[in-house]
Amino acid sequence: MNPHILAAVFAAVFMGTIGAIAVYADVSAETVTFYRLFIGAVLMGCFLLFTGQKDKIVIWPGIKVLVTGAFLASFVVFYVMALTYTSMANAVMLLYLAPVTASVVAHFFMGERLSGLSATLIGVALFGFAMMMEFNFNLTGRKEESIGLFYALCAMMCYAAFILTNRLIHDRVHVLTRSGYQMLAGALCVLPFMLQQGDSIGAEHWGWLVAAGVVPGFLAIMLAVVALKALPAATFGTLAYLEPITVVALAWFLFDQSLNTLQISGSALIIVAGIIQAVLSARSSRYAEAEQALGAG
């Protein structure tokens, strides 16, 4: 198999482990998020330092990078909190409506017009989530489920904001610099809330917290960067949808959170709509770059 495709696959799978790690860590969402981001940032800094890329550490990344770090921390915290009240499948599928939400916001406020096909795909993704909910939106008497979906909705909105603000960052900021500072800024944002929780962290917790920083933190980002250097955006965007598949699979095998046929079909609709949207976005970017090149010529 192409090593860059393999890197993208592992990046998505590693990113999808955060839910299971958070459950096993058995500490607050704020604590899991802090150590995931802080350890990830430290490892990224060490990697850049020991590979002779010190120049990528010492530059000022810009305020936009730090703002995206806050959104990064927020969506991770809300996602982990959602797992306490609802299933991993519901949480991750609602989270993965973020690209759809970002597309709608970009349509109205950033001049990125939606085509008829894109609008149809948004409808398909929303219908898929309705299938995930088994078309039952009456949350009366389902207090925990409603709380979980609320937190998942907050995570989705923060993830959409993370996607949109990342588009505003100048290309001169290298992706490794961007990732490292985003994780560091996110860790610092969540630190006061973690201290407020006053979690008692024992030996049984440290292994999972370190795993959170190494696997879905540093390794997932590093492998994604390696993959993005060689793969077309559409290919990478397609493979990224292995993350929600990983989450659903882990929930099924580790926590017996099985899905019925209707829910599986809904998950498939969300994933397929997301993949097609990723391909369309990549094509639009290529067309825009080609037009800019012609204009410059």
pLDDT in tens, 157-196: 998 888 788 777 777 777 788 888 888 999 999 999 999 8
Confidence bin at 34 (pLDDT 50/70/90): very high
Predicted TM-score (pTM) of this structure: 0.80
Confidence bin at 210 (pLDDT 50/70/90): very high
**225-249 per-residue burial string, b: 16 or more CB within 10 A, e: under 16:** bbbbeebeebbbbbbbbbbbbbbbb
Domain housing 66: 3-296
Q: For the chain, what percent of residues have pLDDT higher than 70?
A: 86
Hey, CA dihedral for 58, 62, 65, 67, is it positive or negative? positive
**What is the dihedral angle through the alpha carbons of 296, 105, 64, 28, rounded to the nearest 10 degrees?**
-150
Number of domains composing the chain: 1
Average pLDDT of the segment spanning 35-60? 87
**Which of the residue ranges 54-68, 183-197, 248-262, 278-292 would you say has the lowest mean pLDDT?**
278-292
Residue 217 has pLDDT above 60, yes or no: yes
For the chain, state the CA radius of gyration.
Answer: 19
Residue 18 has pLDDT above 80, yes or no: yes
Residue 287 has pLDDT above 80, yes or no: no
Query: Encoding tokens for residue 254?
Result: 């580790």
According to the model, what pLDDT value does residue 176 have? 81
Task: Specify whether the CB–CB gap between 148 and 34 falls below 8 A.
Answer: no
